[in-house]
């Protein structure tokens, strides 16, 4: 069984997870909040988030995060590795 088979989003309108518009306010922000609420109850949210972070830029809400939030997660993961490489090269 694939992790996606256990996702709650399969029982929802797919459009909920692909908001269009300004994510900071208005109907789009409410839609994002609604999608994230589904993710918070989802038993496979962590697998979903891991897939989205590993895959790279994917549109929509995955694992309870927006594309911008996942980009920040990837950058935070890369920075310690880059810092260690620079420190090691300087030694």
Whole-structure pTM value: 0.79
Q: What is the pLDDT of residue 63?
A: 97
A 10 A CB-CB count for 9 gives 20
Say how many CA atoms lie within 13 Å of 60 toward its Cβ: 15
Report the sign of the C-alpha dihedral through residues 78, 80, 84, 86, in that order.
positive
Q: Which residue numbers belong to the known binding site? A: 9, 39, 42, 48
Rounded-to-integer distance, Cα 19 and Cα 60, Å: 7
pLDDT digits 0-9 by tens, 23-62: 777 899 999 999 999 999 999 999 999 999 998 889 999 9
Rounded-to-integer distance, Cα 91 and Cα 72, Å: 29
Q: Which residue numbers belong to the known binding site for [4Fe-4S] cluster? A: 9, 39, 42, 48
């Amino acid at each position: 069984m694939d992790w996606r088979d256990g996702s709650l989003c399969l029982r929802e309108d797919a459009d909920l997870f692909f908001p269009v518009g300004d994510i900071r306010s208005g109907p789009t922000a409410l839609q994002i909040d609604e999608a994230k609420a589904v993710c918070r109850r989802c038993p496979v949210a962590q697998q979903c988030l891991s897939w989205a972070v590993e895959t790279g830029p994917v549109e929509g809400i995955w694992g309870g995060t927006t594309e911008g939030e996942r980009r920040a997660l990837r950058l935070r993961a890369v920075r310690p590795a880059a810092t260690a490489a620079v420190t090691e090269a300087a030694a």
